[in-house]
């Protein structure tokens, strides 16, 4: 039992706190946790003893720093109310009147107590400073001076706590602060605890953002390449969920309690939080890029696209154990990028604003720029892989069998090289449509543009055409243009016009009639294959 007297040493508070700290490592701890005490202020004012039994697994599952802070808080809010009650009894004289002191002695003691106000204030101040320094040593050692670090440090080898554990610690320190405030201890004596809370909240914010960055890096490992009806995998949803969980986890530490400030309005914290949030977005974009270039040893990326047309695997839908080709990876990531830009990043911007996170505009803009940059890169890579082989097959096909534009027979139909090129374009259409029908116009337009440009180049390289040669060339250019007309853009239209302008004009009515008949024959014979190029026939794939 501690006896209060006029000669009470300021070290009383140190002894009370030191006794508790010395017992922090005892295995049989039965003191109540500081958590949950916000609703028991009245009991604390009376110096009551609160006991909330901890679960049996508490010691094994809870990090030592968390245990340390909770037990430390238990010591303070378990002993300080009695200490405070003893001081109040000493000041108002009730302590002496209860022991039968004479009224003269009571007044003398009261006067002496009033003269010792500064001594008591120093004891409270020293106790709160020691409490704060012990917590800083365990969690925020870089905020201590070198001298204090040697006294209160020693936690260097401990694992860094997650945001969830830091949130629990913030909850505990807040409970401790509120319990002390309830005793009407002057605010200036408790300011060091408020400063500690501010630093803990900032630390929790930064740690949570950093840990989320690591979580996002690992999302790539969860990609299963299963595409839904919108043409996306679960990855964008997983990323959005990860960010939402992060924001929800920050709700309590970022909440502004009485006497606290909004940490997100501190310029330095704002800047750091914004940069880390931008970093999370960039990390996810990098994950997508890594996935797009990932290759499996059992995938032959060099196979001929036309071979796959008859393969049921390509059109059987995404199934368990599905291992996409490198081109399919590009398409799937492209589809995901489109979804991120149109939906995910806008959703996250709303969540950021709702939870008070600053720098939302910058975060969104950087994210959009990054995903658009990746989109362009992947799109160009896919077009190069698919368009170049088709365009490259035209010249050998045109001149197969020593064909000569200046010496050829009367046309009897579109030659096989052009039909094969169309079949290859159809195969690209099928590949893209299997992943995302929304990507079809964009991809096919670029493929057609490449093919039209190559046909234009080949026609411009011909030195001269015979009458039959001109008719054959016009037949094939018109057949190609009409077949893929739904995907012509200004560039491909211009290429076809330039190619046709190179050819001698048809003046004979018989030649014009033959051209029309052969075009109709071609469209009729390939009606089934060319149906996919009609936009009105495009229907969603049901899986």
Q: How confident is the model at residue 148 (pLDDT cuts 50, 70, 90)?
A: confident
CA distance 45 to 139: 29
Distance CA 411, CA 402 (A): 16
Structure tokens at 491: 């560039």
What pTM did the predictor assign? Answer: 0.78
The rounded percent of the chain whose pLDDT value lies above 90 is 57
Coil vs helix vs strand at 322: coil
Alpha carbons 496 and 479: distance in angstroms, whole number: 11
Could you read off the pLDDT of 293-339 as tens digits, one per residue? 876 543 343 333 433 433 333 334 444 556 889 999 999 999 999 99
Question: How many angstroms from the chain centroid is the CA of residue 511?
Answer: 64
Structure tokens at 129: 């400073």
pLDDT per position as a tens digit, 214-251: 999 999 999 999 999 888 999 999 999 999 999 999 99
- Residue-wise DSSP of 356-410: T-S-HHHHHHHHHHHHHHHHHHHHHHHHHHHHHHHHHHHHHHHTTTS--TTS-PP
Q: For the segment 480-504, what is each residue's pLDDT rounded down to a tens digit?
A: 999 999 999 999 999 999 999 999 9
Cα 215 from Cα 179, distance rounded (Å): 36
d(CA 251, CA 276): 18
- Per-residue pLDDT of 176-219, as tens digits, reads 999 888 888 888 888 999 999 999 999 999 999 999 999 999 99
Reference 508, options 477, 470, 460, 476; nearest CA is 470
Of 370 and 46, the one with more pLDDT: 370
Alpha carbon of 177 to those of 61, 140, 191, 232: distances in Å? 26, 18, 10, 49
Helical (H) or strand (E) element with 200: helix 187-217
- Tell me what pLDDT residue 41 has: 39
């Amino acid at each position: 039992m501690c006896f209060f007297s006029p000669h009470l040493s300021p070290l009383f508070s140190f002894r009370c706190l030191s006794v508790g700290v010395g017992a922090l490592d005892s295995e049989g701890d039965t003191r109540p946790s500081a958590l949950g005490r916000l609703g028991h202020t009245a009991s604390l004012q009376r110096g009551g003893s609160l006991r909330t039994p901890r679960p049996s697994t508490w010691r094994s599952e809870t990090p030592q720093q968390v245990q340390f802070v909770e037990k430390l808080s238990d010591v303070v809010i378990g002993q300080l109310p009695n200490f405070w009650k003893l001081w109040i009894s000493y000041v108002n004289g009730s302590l002496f009147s209860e022991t039968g002191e004479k009224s003269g002695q009571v007044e003398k003691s009261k006067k002496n107590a009033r003269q010792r106000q500064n001594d008591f204030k120093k004891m409270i101040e020293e106790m709160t400073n020691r409490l704060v320094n012990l917590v800083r040593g365990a969690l925020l050692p870089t905020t201590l001076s070198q001298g204090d670090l040697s006294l209160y440090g020693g936690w260097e080898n401990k694992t860094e706590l997650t945001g969830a554990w830091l949130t629990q610690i913030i909850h505990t320190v807040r409970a401790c602060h509120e319990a002390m405030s309830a005793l009407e201890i002057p605010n200036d004596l408790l300011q060091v605890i408020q400063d500690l809370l501010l630093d803990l909240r900032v630390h929790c914010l930064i740690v949570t953002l950093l840990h989320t960055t690591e979580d996002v890096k690992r999302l790539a490992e969860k990609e299963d390449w299963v595409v839904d009806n919108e043409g996306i995998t679960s990855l964008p949803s997983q990323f959005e969920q990860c960010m939402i969980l992060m924001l929800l986890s920050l709700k309590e530490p970022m909440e502004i309690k009485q006497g606290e400030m909004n940490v997100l309005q501190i310029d330095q914290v704002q800047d750091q939080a914004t940069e880390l949030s931008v970093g999370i977005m960039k990390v996810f974009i990098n994950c997508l890029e890594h996935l797009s270039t990932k290759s499996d040893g059992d995938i032959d990326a060099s196979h001929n696209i036309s071979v796959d047309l008859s393969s049921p695997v390509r059109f059987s839908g995404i199934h368990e154990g599905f291992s996409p080709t490198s081109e399919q990876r590009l398409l799937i990531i492209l589809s995901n990028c489109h979804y991120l830009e149109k939906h995910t990043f806008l959703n996250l911007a709303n969540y950021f604003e709702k939870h008070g996170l600053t720098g939302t505009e910058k975060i969104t803009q950087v994210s959009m720029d990054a995903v658009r940059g990746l989109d362009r890169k992947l799109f160009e890579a896919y077009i190069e892989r698919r368009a170049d082989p088709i365009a490259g097959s035209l010249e050998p096909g045109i001149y197969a069998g020593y064909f000569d534009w200046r010496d050829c027979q009367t046309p009897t139909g579109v030659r096989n090289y052009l039909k094969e090129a169309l079949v290859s374009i159809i195969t690209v259409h099928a590949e893209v449509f299997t992943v995302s029908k929304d990507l079809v116009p964009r991809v096919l337009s670029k493929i057609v543009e490449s093919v039209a440009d190559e046909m234009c180049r080949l026609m411009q390289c011909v030195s001269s055409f015979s009458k039959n040669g001109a008719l054959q060339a016009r037949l094939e250019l018109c057949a190609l243009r009409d077949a893929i007309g739904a995907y012509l853009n200004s560039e491909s239209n211009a290429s076809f016009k330039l190619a046709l302008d190179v050819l001698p004009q048809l003046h004979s009515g018989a030649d014009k009639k033959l051209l029309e008949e052969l075009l109709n024959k071609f469209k009729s014979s390939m009606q089934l294959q060319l149906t996919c190029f009609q936009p009105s026939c495009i229907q969603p794939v049901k899986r």
